Structure 1
């Protein structure tokens, strides 16, 4: 396998009043194509900041972020937005679905930013809903779906543009154990059978077991790597 993402000596600081707080001070890591990585660590260790850097929704203050051989840390906002639309799908703890739209319309939203014709958009939506086994709920609105079904809609939305990378921020944090395991098995399927690279932040050791490897982030660095 070759690296999909490489972080080289990345620094990230936040201001709190006049004080600068270092989140990362020379972080280096590599994520291979086809990896399913769980990132664990205490609150404030930089897990969500790392996801934001990987997904191009935040910028590093120094170092390099290389995606599939392409350095992205110097991109303009417009270049980053176009890069995200092609390459990254986001899945959150709270599903962030539009309540007035049907499942199919929610899934289609990322495609509205593309030049795809309507027929092709519909085909992509149907495929994504089929993958998450929700074809029969396409016309239902979020309030008519269970929490697990809403998260499946969110996963379908994340994969509808066929991204290389899925970034998941506590994707099962709002679900019961059985429903959470169903969602995690779906992520495993996307990883193993569709070749998606998955990076998942979780506080849940049970969820981390679904990943192929777990990184423990503490005080801005990886303190331990467990199989």
Structure 2
């Protein structure tokens, strides 16, 4: 396990390179990409299809690995972790929100939220307390016993946010979290993501194609062909 000196940044990326092979052809995604994200910031990541947004999110999640360069989260060099090390790290550090919710249809909202806690050693009483707290944060305490089919799309996404939050991660990654929602439901989800940073101090990195969603963030980063072309910082 390698550490870097502690800074105000939760994420430090230095000279990150990534490419894939398609047959005999090597397709570059990033070439010496660098980025720092401060703790407690809400960052929107935008760019056209094929710009590298999803690849970068997957590398931040430890799902994909760089070919070279440094990728550190909270001072930990996750680019050097083994698969078992990454599994432990994700359970302790990361929450993930998906565009299409990824809820288990046979489980209640509370049971879906509880799933990440099954990777931790804690009592059933503590799990219940955390689930109740997470559902309360997203405004769904009264829907704990409902199954996904009994919830609207916006409510299902709020359950997914509660699931990402329940283990108290430092970093929350969101992949098009409003992409399947109508505007009122999307705005409700964005308000919750803002609350996670403003009141709970979480760092949120959100991939989005929606400029309205991006405006909810503190920082908007634009990727094109694997490079950051500009950034806008909210007032």
TM-score by length of 2: 0.95
Regions of 4+ moved over 3 Å: none
After superposition, the CA RMSD in angstroms is 0.8
Q: Which runs of 5+ in 2 are unaligned?
A: 1-6
Following the alignment from structure 1 to structure 2, what is the Cα–Cα distance between the partners of residues 181 and 12?
Answer: 34
What does residue range 1-227 of structure 1 map to in structure 2 within 5 Å?
Answer: 2-227=8-233
SS class of match (2:80)? coil
Following the alignment from structure 1 to structure 2, what is the Cα–Cα distance between the partners of residues 154 and 77?
Answer: 25
Following the alignment from structure 1 to structure 2, what is the Cα–Cα distance between the partners of residues 226 and 134?
Answer: 33
SS class of match (1:73)? helix
The offset of 1:147, in angstroms, is 0.3
- How many residues align? The count is 227
The offset of 1:71, in angstroms, is 1.2
Deviations 1:174-222 (A, max 9, x none): 0001110010000000110000000000000000000001000001010
TM-score by length of 1: 0.99
Following the alignment from structure 1 to structure 2, what is the Cα–Cα distance between the partners of residues 85 and 159?
Answer: 11
Following the alignment from structure 1 to structure 2, what is the Cα–Cα distance between the partners of residues 185 and 70?
Answer: 30
Deviations 1:33-63 (A, max 9, x none): 0111001000000001100111111111100
Following the alignment from structure 1 to structure 2, what is the Cα–Cα distance between the partners of residues 137 and 177?
Answer: 22
The offset of 1:113, in angstroms, is 1.2
